[in-house]
């Protein structure tokens, strides 16, 4: 019966094609499309088949060369499904494209990415992730105006001259430790080395000064002739702009970083937003962290509901920003 099924030439090997003999599977290559869609842990990726099979003997190579399409797990929309970390798979796919390892600065998921590389059976990527990082985790030297990623790729953001390095003191010897390093290695009482400072702390242990701007877009309806009470609609999202380290210090786990996950602590971002929709809750958190409001601005537009008749209800849409400062 297996021979009869294999000789019919059914699409994708027919109902019994997956269990037919080795001569049949070697005669007909797997019928995968040139463009494949992958659902990795809920994240959808679209790539070429030649990319996922670029490393021989890897897990993806075996899936898309040694198996038939009907043998692989699929989601409800027919995409090939892999139950792995969808966020980290972006780096796996980048590596498969040109076999180069390029990671963002201050990348905190290196050990987890190494575990993913082991699962996908990419020994060279595992070796590179396990090697000591060069250069170190600190900021780039002052003569570099651009952040350099691992393996020499250029970053996208400019750095000021002298970034991260104190100015040399007059009369200081070349081999003497800098005052910055000496202060950072001492505890406030002057004893042995204390805990490392967080990015939002200054050298004397106090909290750094800075600005955080939060904004929201809202809309409300006013009845005819403005006689009825305004009906305010729910705030859809509260955005957060400012230095990454300050935003994380103030809002902690309530900060949604999904739109800008790789931002280093000393950079600025305008893509964070909060997981709650209450302005008062955001104000409380800023006040508890020592911030106070210094400015506020708002802009809006007006439209008529249903028609252009002036007697109809008016719908106002506004965007408001609040600027908070900690000195």
Dump pLDDT digits (tens) for 239-284.
Answer: 999 999 899 999 988 898 888 887 888 889 988 989 888 889 999 9
- 166 to 104, 162, 178, 180, 181: CA distances (angstroms): 24, 7, 8, 7, 10
Mean pLDDT of 5-20: 39
Who has greater pLDDT, 225 or 114? 114
**Integer Cα distance of 38 and 109 in angstroms:** 22
Residue 206, C-beta contacts closer than 8 angstroms, at least 6 positions apart: none
pLDDT digits (tens, 9 = 90+) for 201-219: 554 556 788 999 999 887 7
CB 5 within 8 A of CB 11: no
pLDDT at 258: 82
What domains can you pick out in the chain, each with its CATH number?
A: 35-130 (3.30.710.10), 210-223+232-304+313-326 (3.30.1410.10)
Tokens of 128: 């590179």
For 102-202, where are the E strands, in sequence order? 146-148, 154-158
CA 316 to chain centre: 34
**Closest listed residue to residue 299, CA positions, set 313, 317, 315, 283:** 317
C-alpha angle 53-57-58 in degrees, rounded to nearest 5: 65
Contact between 269 and 244 (Cβ < 8 Å): yes
Q: What is the DSSP letter of 201?
A: B
Residue 197 has pLDDT above 70, yes or no: no
Q: What is the pLDDT of residues 16-73, one digit of tens each?
A: 444 444 444 444 555 889 999 999 998 999 999 999 999 999 999 999 998 888 899 9
Nearest alpha-carbon partner for 227 in 326, 288, 114, 314: 314
Percent residues over pLDDT 70 in the chain: 61
């Amino acid at each position: 019966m297996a021979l009869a099924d294999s000789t019919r030439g059914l699409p994708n090997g027919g109902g019994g094609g997956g269990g037919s003999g080795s001569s049949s599977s070697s005669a007909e290559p797997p019928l995968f499309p040139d463009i494949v869609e992958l659902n990795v842990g809920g994240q959808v990726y679209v790539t070429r088949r030649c990319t996922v099979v670029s490393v021989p003997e890897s897990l993806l190579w075996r899936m898309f060369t040694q198996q038939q399409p009907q043998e692989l797990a699929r989601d409800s929309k027919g995409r090939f499904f892999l139950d792995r970390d969808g966020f980290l798979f972006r780096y796996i796919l980048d590596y498969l494209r040109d076999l180069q390892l390029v990671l963002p600065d201050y990348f905190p998921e290196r050990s987890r990415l190494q575990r993913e590389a082991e699962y996908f059976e990419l020994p060279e990527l595992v070796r590179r992730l396990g090697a000591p990082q060069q250069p170190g985790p600190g900021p780039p030297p002052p003569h570099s105006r651009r952040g350099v990623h691992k393996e020499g790729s250029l970053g996208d953001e400019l750095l000021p001259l002298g970034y991260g390095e104190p100015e040399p003191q007059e009369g200081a010897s070349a081999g003497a430790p800098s005052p910055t390093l000496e202060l950072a290695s001492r505890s406030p009482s002057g004893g042995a080395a204390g805990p490392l400072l967080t990015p939002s702390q200054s050298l004397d242990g106090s909290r750094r000064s800075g600005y955080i701007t939060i904004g929201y877009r809202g809309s409300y309806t006013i009845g005819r002739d403005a006689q009825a009470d305004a009906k305010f609609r729910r705030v859809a999202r509260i955005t957060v702009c400012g230095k990454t380290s300050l935003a994380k210090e103030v809002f902690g786990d309530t900060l949604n970083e999904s739109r800008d996950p790789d931002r280093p602590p000393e950079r600025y971002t305008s893509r964070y937003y909060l997981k709650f929709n209450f302005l008062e809750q955001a104000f409380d958190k800023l006040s508890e962290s020592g911030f106070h409001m210094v400015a506020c601005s708002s802009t809006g537009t007006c439209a008529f509901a249903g028609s252009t008749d002036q007697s109809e209800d008016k719908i106002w849409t506004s965007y408001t920003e609040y600027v908070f400062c900690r000195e």
